[in-house]
């Protein structure tokens, strides 16, 4: 099975792990504005770690459909102080940084983070691949069609699973040739996909093991879950648990979630089937 090297610490992914989401944005689709001071950040991170999160994924750029674009300077001012604070106050924390900008990635790794989570899969910043290779950090490569501002206007594929697999395979080969050791793939549920596209990907998620990389699933409280049920993100926890369970049965190694306790329970129950 897979292991990833996070700042010299080998993390075994033979049993699925949880990545807790910490959005320090004012406008994220579910928890925007909730964690905008150090007290609330500390409380939420403590809670997620206590409930079983292995990784904490910090994001300062909202990528919800139609989100407001912010400058690199604004993203830097939001995220780097939080990385420094968390590294100082939680010495054993394994921080993942949700950014598509190579400069932000570098600054956050220098501040103590361990993983880069790039929603653009290297498409938004041509220096991202060389940066993660130079830093030798695990790189989460997500698929997105378009940008957060336009990705849901008219997503179109002839064969979504095959197209994303091909895209990932080409990029994975490039990164391996460049010398990257730890690559993780994320099909990008909700990023330039219709509801039908998302369920096609969930159904075929096990096919992505052909890439010989760990699979991260980020499906927590997304519209593909709450829209078919005519509900809202706040009422989509049960649907999230169902979807996470399907992802686990398809072999996903990392669940990226807002609700750590429930994800941990899904893992524990699913593992009993093995």
Q: What phi, psi does 181 have (nearest 5°)?
A: -90, -40
Helix or strand holding residue 268 (H, E):
helix 260-271
Q: Which of 78, 222, 250, 264 is catalytic?
A: 222
Query: Under CATH, to which class is 3-271 assigned?
Result: alpha beta
Within 8 A by CB and 6+ apart from 147, the residues are 120, 124
Secondary structure (3-state) at 6 = strand
Where exactly are the structural domains of the chain? Answer: 3-271
pTM of the shown model = 0.94
Residue 112 CB neighbours (<10 A): 18
Rounded distance between C-alpha atoms, residue 103 and residue 234, angstroms = 34
Average the pLDDT over 30-57 and give the result. 85
pLDDT of residue 69: 75
Residue 149 is a catalytic residue: no
Is residue 88 pLDDT above 80, yes or no? yes
Say what percent of the chain tops pLDDT 70. Answer: 92
Residue 261 is a catalytic residue: no
Q: Which of 256, 261, 264, 274 is catalytic?
A: 256
């Amino acid at each position: 099975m897979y292991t990833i090297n996070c700042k010299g610490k080998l993390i075994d992914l033979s049993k699925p792990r949880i990545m807790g989401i910490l959005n320090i944005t004012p406008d994220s689709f579910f928890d925007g504005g909730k964690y905008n001071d150090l007290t609330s950040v500390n409380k939420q991170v403590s809670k997620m770690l206590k409930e079983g999160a292995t990784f904490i994924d910090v994001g300062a750029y909202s990528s919800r459909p139609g989100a407001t674009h912010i400058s690199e300077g604004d993203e830097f001012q939001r995220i780097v102080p939080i990385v420094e604070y968390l590294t100082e106050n939680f010495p054993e924390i394994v921080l993942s940084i949700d950014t598509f900008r190579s400069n932000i990635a570098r600054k956050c790794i220098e501040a103590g983070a361990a993983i880069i989570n790039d929603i653009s899969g290297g498409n938004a910043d041509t220096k991202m691949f060389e940066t993660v290779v130079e830093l030798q950090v695990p790189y989460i490569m997500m698929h997105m069609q378009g940008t957060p501002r336009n990705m849901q206007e008219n997503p179109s594929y002839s064969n979504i699973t095959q197209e994303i697999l091909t895209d990932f395979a080409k990029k994975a080969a490039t990164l391996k040739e460049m010398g990257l050791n730890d690559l993780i793939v994320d099909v990008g549920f909700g990023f330039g996909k219709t509801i039908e596209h998302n369920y096609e990907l969930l159904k075929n998620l096990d096919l992505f093991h052909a890439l010989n990389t760990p699979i991260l699933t980020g499906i927590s409280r997304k519209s593909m879950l709450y829209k078919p049920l005519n509900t809202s993100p706040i009422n989509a926890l049960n649907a999230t648990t169902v979807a996470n369970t399907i992802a686990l049965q398809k072999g996903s190694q990392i669940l990226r979630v807002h609700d750590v306790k429930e994800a941990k329970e899904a893992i524990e129950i699913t593992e009993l089937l093995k």
